[in-house]
């Protein structure tokens, strides 16, 4: 009887998550301010072990419909020490940007992710993600939401040891645009990346 009840609960939880994902992927709340038709892009499972909290899809991601399928993704996977197959397995990784749709181009890079997206969906989604063992935070808007902080990415990246003790880590965006930052902060790839790979490997044996 107990086994049957547990199975029914698991089926119900899975159904709730699937319904939520369906709602998110059909969302049009920000349609009036988006440069292109809404196309929510995320990767999600209630069983995910690692959460990647990013900013918002870029124009290329909007066209492809696949997050991090570019040079940034190649570098991020290298930092994590995982393959593409592992990275795109939602049972292992949830990819949850602060805004699910491309926000458009600004004067210096893409526009900020519309706040309405996170305020509408983020708490509900994360409430279903009870198996997350590591949260990887990319970008100042994700830092503000997840750490309630306006400190710089560099400040948080340098605090990697304390953050990892709390199952969180802040990374600079893996875009080639950050090559100068990486060159100036050589400690990141010599100290942080090996520690990150070790933690990821402990969660997802490679």
Q: What is the pLDDT along the chain (206 residues), one digit of tens a residue?
A: 556 554 454 555 567 788 899 999 999 999 999 999 999 999 999 999 999 999 999 999 999 999 999 999 999 999 999 999 999 999 999 999 999 999 999 887 889 999 999 999 999 999 999 999 999 999 999 999 999 999 999 999 999 999 999 999 999 999 998 999 999 999 999 999 999 999 999 999 76
Closest by CA to 146, choosing from 111, 127, 162, 122, is 122
* Spacing of C-alpha 199 from chain mean position: 17
* Residue recorded with tokens 């989604």: 125
Which pLDDT score, from 0 to 100, does residue 2 have? 53
Q: What domains appear along the chain, each with residue ranges and CATH number? A: 13-203 (3.40.470.10)
């Amino acid at each position: 009887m107990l086994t049957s009840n547990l199975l029914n609960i698991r089926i119900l939880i899975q159904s709730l998550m699937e319904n939520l994902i369906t709602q998110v992927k059909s969302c049009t709340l920000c349609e009036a301010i988006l440069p292109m038709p809404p196309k929510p892009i995320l990767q999600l499972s209630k069983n995910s072990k690692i959460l990647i909290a990013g900013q918002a899809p870029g124009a290329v991601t909007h066209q492809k419909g696949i997050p991090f399928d570019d040079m940034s993704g190649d570098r991020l996977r290298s930092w994590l020490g995982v393959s593409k197959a592992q990275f795109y397995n939602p049972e292992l990784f949830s990819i949850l940007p602060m805004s699910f749709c491309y926000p458009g181009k600004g004067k210096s890079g893409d526009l900020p992710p519309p706040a309405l997206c996170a305020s509408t969906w983020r708490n509900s989604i994360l409430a279903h993600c009870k198996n997350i063992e590591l949260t990887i935070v990319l970008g100042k808007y994700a830092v503000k939401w997840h750490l309630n902080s306006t400190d710089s990415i560099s400040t948080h990246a340098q605090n990697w040891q304390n953050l990892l003790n709390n199952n969180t880590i802040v990374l600079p965006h893996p875009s080639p645009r950050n090559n100068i930052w990486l060159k100036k902060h050589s400690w990141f790839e010599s100290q942080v990346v090996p520690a990150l790979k070790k933690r990821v490997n402990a969660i997802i044996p490679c």
